[in-house]
Chains A and B, each alone.
Chain A
Amino acid sequence: MSHFQPSTAFEASDGELELLPFRFERLDGDQYLVSNLVGDMTFLSGPDLRRLAALDLAPDDALYALAFEKLLLRRKGQRAPLQLLAMRQRSRSSFLRTPTQLHILVVTLRCEHSCPYCQVSRRSTDRDRYDMSFETAARAVEVALSSPSPHIKLEFQGGEPLLNFDLIRAVVPFAREKAEAAGKTLDFVITSNLALLNDDVLAFCKTHDIVLSTSLDGPEDLHNRNRPRPGGDSHQLAVEGIRRAQATLGKERVGALMTTTEASLGRVEEIVDEYVRLGLDGIFLRPLSPYGFAVKTKQYAKYDSRLWLEFYERGLRYILRLNREGTYFPEFYATLLARRMLSDIPTGYVDLRSPAGIGLGALVYNYDGKVFASDEGRMLAEMGDRTFELGDLATDDYASIILSDKLIDLVGRSLTQCAPQCSSCAFEPHCGADPVYHHATQTDPVGIKPLSGFCARQKGIMTLLVDLLENSPEDAAVLRRWAA
């Protein structure tokens, strides 16, 4: 039986013009950014936007063709644009069909660093009190493997997880055995500062195909200033660790994340150069988050969204230049957003999802067995705010955690599809609800978006990316290559 429509379905319709749903944002002056239902974007002048809205168009004008190309318009009776938008919308939302792929085990809260921007409020003593037990970890693995996703990522975090490496050594084979029985595949990540990396750890990672993710804030003086430890040798140990891990595991099996402090703001080129020098596979230019010691020590308040956006734009333009000159080196946040803008592949990045990624994208199992909707929710709990605590491994299972009234309420209230200002925002198809950030900064999971640093950063970065994609062919080619 044929699944093709009859040829008449493809004939041009002579029906009246009709607008398809679209959104717009005013930029400077009378210039607008317009996006269709699934986020295909274009710039329009004010007169063109008003002409489009009034359907004051003729087949021989450029706006007419653009509006059809961008799925802003159809002729009544044309079904293909509706079917295309529906199919693309379904594809973009398909992350909902494989919930909770990421499961984070906080194997200890202890750490030998004393970073003033630490977002997890590390502890320096008391192994018995702040280390996860095997029983708790085993229960976390069972809960993780009972999520519907066929592919599970287990991430070991801290504190510094290598301070409780014996637990990781026991949990990994246990999880492998359980996953095999459940017919699921597993990936492992250890998020470590690498100061305690040794041959034993590397050999274990090699045997069990474990990825290492570390922190590198830039050149030695900047990194050591941001990340103090006894001996003042954090940078040296991180660099040695990266090199040893690259040599043993392969370059693609070790990555690094940077955090932007006030001291970083004028030095983005040096930070990027350090990553390139070490052969890392890209960089994620990240702002500080409003959690843990970053708030207590007032690090978070030392720069605003505007300063961070200037830092980001300068960094991205520098990275694009390196790429244009022949060095393949992506900026990972631009890559994530470009992929959202240029394709309908569902995002795996929990902060760019609506419904929000809390719980549905990731669960966090704290050292004491408490379960949180996100890593940031766990960070808030260490500050005394347990809004995002969903349960306890001693008493809960996956279903009771995911279907808890608390999670459903938080996810339901924060939908960008309904939130004030978000619902009519041109960037909404590529953005996400971030209820933890907005709760932390405004004590409201929805947040007043005109006051939201998250919103300001998202709009700033996406406007920059659309501008590059539309007006800078060489940079657009680089962005397309990253997104591919």
Chain B
Amino acid sequence: MEFAAASQSLGALREAAYRLIGQATCQIDSVDGVHRCRLQAARSGDADLRARFLDLVTDENLREKLAAETGPTRNLILALAFGALATAADASAG
């Protein structure tokens, strides 16, 4: 399967390939602006493999988008949650 590197991140392909471990292996080569994914099913006759991989890539693309959009908010929440503990630790150390 081929994906245009301009519109498809390599990270999402790698994440999707990771989730396929056990069902298939996926070798990814990036050449001349194209990510080429060679899928090898763990069991012969796995007809749905391509569709499943595309679903996983779709999901990983969405996860990438969410992570980029909500990362700063996540950091803010974690700072609100645990920042006071760091202050307390600093105070007791000082």
Seen from chain A, the residues whose Cβ lies within 8 Å of a Cβ on chain B are 18-24, 26, 37, 49-50, 53, 82-83, 85-87, 89-90, 93, 420-421, 424, 448, 450-451
Which residues of B are found within 8 Å of A23, using beta-carbon distances? Answer: 63
* B81 contacts chain A at the CB level, 8 A cutoff: yes
Q: What separation, in Å, do the CA atoms of A20 and B52 have in the docked complex?
A: 28
Contact, CB under 8 Å: B76 / A82: yes
6 sample A-B contacts, Cβ–Cβ < 8 Å, listed by A number: A19-B70, A21-B74, A24-B62, A49-B62, A86-B81, A93-B81
The 5 closest A-B pairs by CB, nearest first: A86-B80, A86-B81, A21-B74, A21-B70, A450-B21
Among A82, A93, A450, point to the contact of B77 (Cβ < 8 A).
A82
Question: Mostly helix, strand, loop or mixed at chain B's interface?
Answer: helix
A45 shortest CB reach to chain B, Å: 14
The interface of chain B, by Cβ under 8 A from chain A, is 15, 18-23, 55-56, 59, 62-63, 65-67, 69-71, 73-74, 76-78, 80-82
The answer on a CB contact under 8 Å between B73 and A448 is no
Q: Are A37 and B74 in contact (CB under 8 A)?
A: yes
Query: Taking the nearest CB of chain A, how far is it from the CB of B61, in angstroms?
Result: 10
Residues of B within 8 A of A421 (CB): 15, 18-19
**From B69, which residue of chain A is reached at the shortest CB distance?**
A19
Most buried by A among B22, B65, B80: B80
Complex alpha-carbon distance, A481 and B82, angstroms: 31
* Given A26-B59, A53-B66, A89-B78, 9 extra CB contacts under 8 A: A19-B69, A20-B73, A21-B70, A85-B81, A87-B81, A93-B81, A424-B15, A450-B20, A450-B22
- Chain B residue numbers with a CB within 8 Å of A420 are 18
* B21–chain A nearest beta-carbon distance, Å: 4
Select A50's contact among B56, B62, B69, B78, beta carbons within 8 Å.
B62
Cα A421 to Cα B65 in complex, Å, equals 16
The CA of A86 and the CA of B85, in the complex, are separated in Å by: 13
Question: Are B59's CB and A18's CB within 8 A?
Answer: no
Q: Give the chain B neighbours of A22 by CB distance below 8 A.
A: 66, 70
User: Is the Cβ of A24 less than 8 Å from the Cβ of B59?
Assistant: yes
Could you tell me the distance between the alpha carbons of A239 and B87 in the complex, rounded to whole angstroms?
54
Kindly state the separation between the CA atoms of A20 and B74 in the bound complex, as whole angstroms: 8
Chain A residues within an 8 Å CB radius of B20: 450
Contact of A85 (CB < 8 Å), options: B22, B23, B77: B77
